[in-house]
Amino acid sequence: MKTVAVYCASSTQILQKYFDAAHEVGELLAKKGIRIVTGAGNLGLMNTVENSALEAGGTVVGVIPEFMIRENWHHTGLSELIVTADMHTRKQTIADLSNGCIALPGGCGTMEELLEVITWKQLGLYLNPIVILNLDGFYDPLLAQLQKAVEEHFMRDLHANIWCVASTPAEAVELVLNTPQWDSRIRRFAAI
């Protein structure tokens, strides 16, 4: 079964449009028979993605560190729950399980996950599609910063092709399912 990681926020103090997008992403992936892997949180967009996928008959795997279980921050109704020793292992496990990822709008945690998987792809360690759901321009500043990094030669021009940008949940799902894998030979190039 194809699996898509969904990176998203646990905040509950955000606009309804973000919850609507999260609901749509979960539902669309589930209806296409795509297994979802998340951080197993029981709040915010993460909870919304998980619940909408489950309600649509989908499979959701949650990956969460042990300390979050002790805090009761985990969703208790997922198809599968994987408990890790730490955050590092959580992120690696999510990436290892996935055939692609979608980053919904989020805070530091979501952006950190997104930037880490972008870095892994730049190094040829993660070859799957990375889709940024830039709902209503949420990620415009980050995308501008990444473009500046390319323009000022901190990244090669071809590195701007590491991620795809979608403006709607439907577009994000189509991109994650239809973007080809990255060429692993990319890591052979040492110089920018």
The C-alpha atoms of residue 187 and residue 28 are separated, in whole angstroms, by 33
For residue 126, the enclosing domain spans 3-137+163-178
Q: Report the predicted TM-score, pTM, of the whole model to 2 decimal places.
A: 0.95
Q: Considering its fold, how many domains does the chain have in total?
A: 1
In a domain, 124, yes or no: yes
Q: For residue 73, count CB atoms less than 10 angstroms from its CB and return exposed for 0-12, middle for 13-18, buried for 19 or more.
A: middle
45: left (phi over 0), alpha (psi -120 to 50) or beta: alpha
137: left (phi over 0), alpha (psi -120 to 50) or beta: left
Residue 184's pLDDT is 74
Residue 24's pLDDT is 98
In a domain, 117, yes or no: yes
Q: Are 177 and 100 in contact (CB under 8 A)?
A: yes
In a domain, 184, yes or no: no
Q: Which CATH number fits the domain that encloses residue 85?
A: 3.40.50.450
Residue 183's pLDDT is 81
Q: Are 161 and 109 in contact (CB under 8 A)?
A: no
What single string gives the DSSP state of each residue in 80-131? EEEEESSHHHHHHHHHHH-S-EEE-S-SHHHHHHHHHHHHHHHTTS--S-EE
pLDDT < 70 regions, the chain: 1, 186-192
In a domain, 150, yes or no: no
Residue 192's pLDDT is 38
In a domain, 131, yes or no: yes
Q: b or e along 101-134 (b: 16 or more beta carbons within 10 Å of the residue's beta carbon)?
A: bbbbbbeebbbebbebbbebbbeeebebbbbbbb
Per residue in 96-118, pLDDT (tens digit) is: 999 999 999 999 999 999 999 99
In a domain, 157, yes or no: no
| CA-closest candidate to residue 97, choices 3, 1, 191 | 3
Residue 190's pLDDT is 44
In a domain, 45, yes or no: yes
Residue 1's pLDDT is 63
In a domain, 146, yes or no: no
